C-alpha cells in the first residue's frame, strides 16, 4: 500500500546527500537564518519575528505530510528566557517568498507555536524567505522600547491523520508474548475507532485485552499491567488514543536539540536538567554534549540518550509539546494497516545480522558503510554493547543509502526510528497513574528548579504537587518504553511488544531517549 510514495521520498533523500549548510548554529537539521525583530509603532500593535527557514526532504501526499513546529523564546535585559505567545490567528502570519512551494501556516490556539508545512502535494526541499510571525507584545508584558533578544526554534514533525487503526498484532507464539493488546480473549488485533472510553481487560468481546498480561519470566510482577482477563479497568475518554489527528516528531530527540534547550534555560534549571554528571567517563555510549554552559555537541543530529522521563517532560513543557501515549505510538509506527504478527515499524521483514561499521564517524554526515539492502535498524544485533559503535546512531542514519522504506526502517507515515536506536518513552494504559493523562500541551515555561510545571502538567505522568505550590513532574510513574533500542534484541523492536511498558524511566539511562507529540487543534 502506497509503496510508490516511499520510493519517491527515498529518491529525493538520496539526491540531497552531501548538501551542507544545514543546522541552526549546529543544533538542528532545520536552517533558520536572518532572524530579526521588527518592533511596532505603538505598544498596542504586535511585533514581527522575521526569518528565513529551509529544510530537506519535505513531503505531502494524499495520506499525510511533514511540518516544522516553530516557537519563539525571548529575553529582556537581565532576565531569563521566556516563551513568546504568538497570535493564534492564521492570517496574522505570512511568508514573503515561497520559492515555488506554497505554504500553510497553522498557529496553535494557545499561541505556544505554529506549524509550517507545504500546502500542495509534492516531494522537495523547503526554502521560505521572510517568514513573519505576529507577536502581540502586550500579552507577554513587553514594551516596544525594550531591547529584546529572540531565538526561533524548529522541530521537524510528521502529521498522523485522524482515523481508525489497530493495536496488537495477532501474535500467538508463546515465546513472543509480551502483553500485546488483543480484542477480548481473541488473540486478534483490537480496533481503535474513536476517542471514547475503553474497557481494559475482563475478557469481554469489546474489551482491550493484554494476553492476560503475559510477559517474559524476567519481568517482575510489579511491572505487570493492573488489568487482566479477570480484572477490569477503564481507559477514560480524555486519554489520547490516537484516533484523533496529531503530530509526532519525525525523528527521536537529538543531542543538538537537547543542548539548545539547556542553553536557553537558567543556570539553576541547567543544574537539574544536565545529564553529564550521570555519564561515567568511558561509559558515554556516544553521549557527546559538553559538560557545562554554553553547551555544545558534535554531531548535533545524533539521537539523545542518557535522559530520564523528567528530562523529556521538561523538554516537552518548554517546547509546547506533550507526551505520546502508547496507543499513539502504535498508530505512528504501524499506520492504519491491518497488523501482521511480530511486525516491526517497517513491516514483517527480519532485521539484519552482523555489526554495523561507521563511515565519517562523529560527523553530521555519518553513514553505515555496510548497510544492507533489506531492513536496517539499530539494535543489539547491529550495534549493542559489544561493538565499535556502542551507542545510538544519528537520526535518519539509514536514509542516504536506502532504496525503500524498508531500507531506512521508516514507519508507514515516514517516521524514523520507531523501532530501535533509543527507547521511546510513552504513557502506559497499564497503570492508573498513566490512565489519568489527558493530553494537555506544555506552556513553554518550567519551574525554577527546571521541572515541567504548571496546571497543564497536573495529569502528566509523574506530576505531583510541589512544595512551592502547583504541579511539577517529579518522578516517572505512568511512563514506560516501547520500540526497543540499540542494546536489546529483536523482540523489543516489534511494534506491539509491551515488555517494558510499566518499567518507569526514573533515572538517566544510556538507552533512553525521547519523542514528543502535539494534538491537532479542532
Q: In terms of pLDDT, which residue wins out, 2 or 28?
A: 28
Helices marked H in 233-280: 255-263, 267-273
pLDDT at residue number 92: 98
Q: Residue 239 pLDDT > 60, yes or no?
A: yes
Confidence of residue 353 (pLDDT cuts 50, 70, 90): confident
- What would the mean pLDDT of 14-36 be, rounded to a whole number? 61
* Segment 273-299, tens digit of pLDDT: 999 999 989 999 999 999 999 999 999
Distance CA 278, CA 297 (A): 17
The domain made up of 3-160 is a member of CATH 1.10.3470:
no
- What would the mean pLDDT of 342-349 be, rounded to a whole number? 96
Q: Which residues of 448-484 are buried (b: 16+ CB within 10 A; e: fewer)?
A: ebbbbbbebbbbbbbbeebeeeebbbbbbbbbbbbbb
Sequence ranges of the domains in the chain:
3-160, 162-501
23: buried, middle or exposed (CB in 10 Å: 19+, 13-18, 0-12)?
middle
Q: Residue 4 pLDDT > 90, yes or no?
A: no
Distance CA 84, CA 37 (A): 12
What is the pTM for the complete model shown?
Answer: 0.95
pLDDT at residue number 5: 54
pLDDT at residue number 2: 53
* Segment 103-138, tens digit of pLDDT: 999 999 999 999 999 999 999 999 999 999 999 999
* Segment 361-410, tens digit of pLDDT: 999 999 999 998 899 999 999 999 989 899 999 999 999 888 888 999 99
pLDDT at residue number 390: 96
pLDDT at residue number 24: 43
- The three-class DSSP label of residue 55 is strand
pLDDT at residue number 3: 54
Q: Are strands 367-368 and 66-75 parallel, antiparallel or unpaired?
A: unpaired
Q: Residue 23 pLDDT > 60, yes or no?
A: no
Do 6 and 13 touch, CB atoms closer than 8 A? no
pLDDT at residue number 21: 31
Q: Residue 17 pLDDT > 50, yes or no?
A: no
Distance CA 185, CA 208 (A): 9
> Which of 393, 399, 354, 402 shows the shortest CA–CA distance to 374?
402
pLDDT at residue number 6: 53
- Reduced DSSP (H G I as helix, E B as strand, rest coil) percent helix, strand, coil of the chain, to 5: 15, 25, 60
Mean pLDDT of the chain: 93
Confidence of residue 485 (pLDDT cuts 50, 70, 90): very high
pLDDT at residue number 86: 98
Distance CA 65, CA 12 (A): 15
pLDDT at residue number 467: 80
* Segment 297-334, tens digit of pLDDT: 999 999 999 999 999 999 999 999 999 999 999 999 99
E strand or H helix at 462: none
CA atoms within 13 A on the CB side of 320: 25
Share of the chain above pLDDT 70, in %: 95
Amino acid at each position: 500500500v502506497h509503496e510508490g510514495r516511499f520510493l519517491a521520498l527515498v529518491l529525493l533523500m538520496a539526491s540531497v546527500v552531501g548538501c551542507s549548510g544545514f543546522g541552526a548554529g549546529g543544533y538542528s537539521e532545520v536552517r533558520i537564518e536572518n532572524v530579526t525583530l521588527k518592533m511596532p509603532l505603538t505598544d498596542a500593535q504586535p511585533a514581527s519575528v522575521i526569518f528565513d527557514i529551509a529544510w530537506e526532504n519535505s513531503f505531502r501526499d494524499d495520506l499525510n505530510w511533514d511540518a516544522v513546529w516553530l516557537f519563539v523564546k525571548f529575553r529582556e535585559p537581565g532576565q531569563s528566557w521566556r516563551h513568546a505567545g504568538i497570535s493564534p490567528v492564521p492570517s496574522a502570519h505570512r511568508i514573503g517568498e515561497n520559492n515555488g512551494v506554497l505554504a500553510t501556516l497553522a498557529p496553535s490556539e494557545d499561541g505556544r507555536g505554529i506549524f509550517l508545512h507545504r500546502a500542495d502535494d509534492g516531494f522537495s526541499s523547503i526554502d521560505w524567505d521572510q517568514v513573519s510571525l505576529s507577536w502581540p507584545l502586550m500579552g507577554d508584558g513587553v514594551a516596544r522600547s525594550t531591547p529584546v533578544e529572540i531565538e526561533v526554534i524548529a522541530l521537524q514533525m510528521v502529521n498522523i491523520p485522524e482515523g481508525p487503526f489497530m493495536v496488537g498484532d495477532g501474535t500467538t507464539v508463546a515465546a513472543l508474548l509480551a502483553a500485546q493488546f488483543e480484542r477480548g480473549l481473541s488473540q486478534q488485533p483490537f480496533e481503535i475507532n474513536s476517542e471514547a472510553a475503553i474497557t481494559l481487560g475482563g475478557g469481554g468481546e469489546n474489551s482491550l485485552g493484554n494476553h492476560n498480561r503475559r510477559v517474559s519470566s524476567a519481568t517482575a510482577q510489579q511491572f505487570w499491567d493492573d488489568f487482566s482477563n479477570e480484572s477490569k479497568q477503564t481507559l477514560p475518554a480524555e486519554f489520547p488514543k490516537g484516533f484523533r489527528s496529531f503530530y509526532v516528531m519525525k525523528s527521536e530527540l537529538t543531542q543538538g536539540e537537547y543542548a539548545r534547550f539547556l542553553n536557553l534555560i537558567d543556570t539553576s534549571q541547567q543544574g537539574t536538567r544536565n545529564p553529564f554528571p550521570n555519564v561515567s567517563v568511558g561509559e558515554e555510549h556516544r553521549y557527546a554534549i559538553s559538560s557545562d554552559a554554553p553547551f555544545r555537541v558534535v554531531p548535533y543530529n545524533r539521537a539523545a540518550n542518557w535522559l530520564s522521563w523528567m528530562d523529556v517532560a521538561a523538554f516537552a513543557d518548554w517546547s509546547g509539546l506533550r507526551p505520546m501515549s502508547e496507543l499513539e505510538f502504535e498508530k505512528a509506527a504501524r499506520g492504519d494497516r491491518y497488523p501482521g504478527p511480530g511486525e516491526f515499524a517497517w513491516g514483517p521483514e527480519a532485521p539484519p545480522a552482523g555489526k554495523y561499521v561507521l563511515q565519517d564517524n562523529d560527523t553530521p554526515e555519518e553513514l553505515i558503510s555496510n548497510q544492507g539492502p533489506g531492513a536496517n535498524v539499530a539494535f543489539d544485533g547491529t550495534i549493542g554493547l559489544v561493538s565499535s559503535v556502542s551507542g545510538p546512531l544519528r537520526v535518519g542514519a539509514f536514509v542516504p543509502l536506502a532504496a525503500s522504506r524498508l531500507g531506512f526502517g521508516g514507519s508507514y507515515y515516514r517516521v524514523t526510528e520507531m523501532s530501535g536506536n533509543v527507547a521511546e518513552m510513552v504513557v502506559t494504559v497499564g497503570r492508573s497513574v498513566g490512565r489519568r493523562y489527558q493530553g494537555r500541551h506544555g506552556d513553554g515555561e518550567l519551574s525554577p528548579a527546571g521541572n515541567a510545571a504548571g496546571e497543564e502538567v497536573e495529569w502528566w505522568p509523574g506530576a505531583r504537587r510541589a512544595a512551592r505550590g502547583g504541579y511539577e513532574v517529579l518522578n516517572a510513574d505512568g511512563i514506560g518504553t516501547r520500540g526497543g533500542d540499540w542494546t536489546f534484541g529483536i523482540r523489543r523492536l516489534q511494534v506491539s511488544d509491551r515488555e517494558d511498558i510499566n518499567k518507569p524511566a526514573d533515572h538517566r539511562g544510556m538507552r533512553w531517549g525521547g519523542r514528543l507529540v502535539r494534538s491537532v487543534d479542532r
